[in-house]
Amino acid sequence: MKVIEVKGLTKSYGDFKAVAGIDLTIEAGEIFALLGPNGAGKTTTVEILAGFRDREAGSVSVLGFDPATKGDAGRAWRNRIGIVLQTASDAGSFKVREIVKHFSAFYANPRDVDQVIEAVGLSEKRDSLVLELSGGQRRRLDVALGIIGSPELLFLDEPTTGFDPEARRAFWSLIRDLKAGGTTILLTTHYLDEAEELADRVAVIAAGKIIEVSTPALLGGRSTAKATVSWLGSNGIQTEESDNPTAVVSKLAAQFGGDIPELVITRPSLEDIYLKMIGGQHE
């Protein structure tokens, strides 16, 4: 089942074309990551798909409905999606548990409030006012509000901004659990390790256009890219690129009569491929 289908999507702000003809299909149960520099069109695309922003042209279907004309679906459609946008929660006079409980009442089949608070790492802050939370803790609260409704489809726009490494990995575990439960997830992130860890497929977007859609392992020909073999030679560190690094290592082993000093074999990382694809545009 196709949860999201997009054809020819465009959106401009004055003379600036934020989205310049995107085609996109996301299947049920997959984690799909949108990667791209700032201003590439990621957030605009997510906001259009979530029904928060109008488009200029193109067709969009989200869970079988057009977000721009979903009057016949109404609350029932909204009940099926969860959203974590870049804007932080603004509920300073509420306690954490109060605001999560309040949002749970909007949904037909909400998750347990305390389990959600624990899942995002806010158990010790459940009775704290939102205005007392740090930036990272507020971001965790945004995630809690996005998942409280047990959504079929979850939009996550830069969800782990402000998370420390431990919190990010706990969040990754939560996302895997949601996927295992059947939730489809559209994720935007600047963290390439996050995309590689979580995403079934990724799309690289730049200047409002999608450059390529693939798995993290195959993106940009990554799996067939040449390996770099480096070692300590008589003139310092030396390197050689090769389609057959085993042959290079065999040659070096014969040359050195066994162990090769400081031998390292690397292939391009997802970040290497991504930076090459966006052509030096700024994050």
Average pLDDT over residues 225-240: 90
pLDDT tens-digit map of 20-57: 999 999 999 999 999 999 889 999 999 999 988 999 99
- Does residue 73 have a pLDDT over 80? no
Please report the pLDDT score of residue 194 as a whole number: 92
Please report the pLDDT score of residue 281 as a whole number: 56
Q: Which residue has the higher pLDDT, 4 or 137?
A: 4
Average pLDDT over residues 241-248: 89
Q: How far apart are CA 263 and CA 252, in angstroms?
A: 10
Please report the pLDDT score of residue 93 as a whole number: 82
- Beta bridge partner(s), residue 59: 7
Q: Which residue has the higher pLDDT, 61 or 78?
A: 61
The answer, as to whether pTM is greater than 0.85, is: no
- Does residue 72 have a pLDDT over 70? no
Q: Work out the pLDDT band at 280, boundaries 50, 70, 90.
A: low
Determine contact, residues 283/190, Cβ cutoff 8 Å: yes
Q: Work out the pLDDT band at 167, boundaries 50, 70, 90.
A: confident
Q: How far apart are CA 82 and CA 85, in angstroms?
A: 10
Q: Which residue has the higher pLDDT, 39 or 7?
A: 7
Beta strands per DSSP E along the chain: 2-13, 16-27, 31-35, 57-62, 81-84, 153-157, 184-188, 201-206, 209-214, 227-233, 236-242, 264-266
Q: Work out the pLDDT band at 136, boundaries 50, 70, 90.
A: confident
Please report the pLDDT score of residue 170 as a whole number: 83
Please report the pLDDT score of residue 221 as a whole number: 82
Beta strands per DSSP E along 136-199: 153-157, 184-188
